[in-house]
Amino acid sequence: MGNYRVLLGMGGVPPHDRPAAYAWERRLHWVMVGVALLALPAFYLDVTQQSEMLSGLSRGLNAFILLAFCIEFLWMASLTCQRYLYIAYNWLDLFIIFSAALSLFGVGSKWIPLVRLLRLAYVSLVLARALGAIRNLLSPHAVPYMLGLGVVTLALAGAGFYWLEPTVHSYGDGLWLAFVTGSTVGYGDIVPTTTASRIFAAVMVLIGLAILSVVTAKIAAFFIGEDEKRLRNEMHQDIKALHEEVQKLRADIAMLVQKRAE
């Protein structure tokens, strides 16, 4: 698993490094997750281009992400004693910084398709960085956290649909549309009608499928794990009983040998 993360450029601090580097990596963990996830609204606002104000907000978010990744990378590189190894382990951060800079400053009408492609690649890489950072949520005991993440996502998506979809006239309707979209039920009583809300709905489908799949898998793994624990406990008891019988047989054999010698 460690070699796999290194190949993806998310290796973190190399082994046998300074304790301060590991401490700061833990402190910045969730901060960088939050910064990375800002790439989603930034990309969305840039693609929809609803107004100059929203486009400026998108550029501001991209600039903040670029600055945060630069500061985090330089700070962590300065803390590690294996600096070149840290750079090799975390090449994805450098690629994100490079792509973010190009997408932010690569203006010009003839370069718009290339800039859009770079921004899409940049968002994908940032999300890969974020998913790698939240791998702890996939632990066997992370079901409550995943459910909490689903509730927060649903609440934010309800507000997003209320803002983007003209046929949604209340936050409750937006919440309902977010639920039927994220759960892929799709009753059809309320549907996205604008380009912006349709793109938002597509993102919600992907997020909803991911969360529901992980939660379902973890619940199934929980019950399967309980059966495995019971089987391991029974096996342990059988081995313990067998060990006691062997010890008793050894004692009996030793006693017989002693009697024969006498």
**Per residue in 140-192, pLDDT tens?**
566 677 777 778 888 888 888 888 888 898 989 999 998 998 888 888 888 88
- Could you tell me the CATH number of the domain that includes residue 238? 1.10.287.70
pLDDT tens for each residue of 180-227: 988 888 888 888 888 778 878 887 887 888 777 777 777 776 676 666
- Does this model's pTM top 0.75? My answer is no
Whether residue 181 is found in the same domain as residue 100: no
Of the candidates 133, 167, 193, which is a domain's last residue? 133
Whether residue 242 is found in the same domain as residue 148: yes
Whether residue 112 is found in the same domain as residue 206: no
- The 3-state secondary structure of the chain, one letter per residue: CHHHHHHCCCCCCCCCCCHHHHHHHHHHHHHHHHHHHCHHHHHHHHHHCCCHHHHHHHHHHHHHHHHHHHHHHHHHHHHCCCHHHHHHHCHHHHHHHHHHHHHHHCCCHHHHHHHHHHHHHHHHHHHHHHHHHCHHHHCCCCHHHHHHHHHHHHHHHHHHHHHHCCCCCCHHHHHHHHHHHHCCCCCCCCCCCCHHHHHHHHHHHHHHHHHHHHHHHHHHHHHHHHHHHHHHHHHHHHHHHHHHHHHHHHHHHHHHHHHHHC
Indicate the pLDDT class of residue 1, thresholds 50, 70 and 90: very low
Range of the domain at 14: 1-133
pLDDT tens for each residue of 16-49: 898 999 999 888 877 887 787 777 777 777 666 5
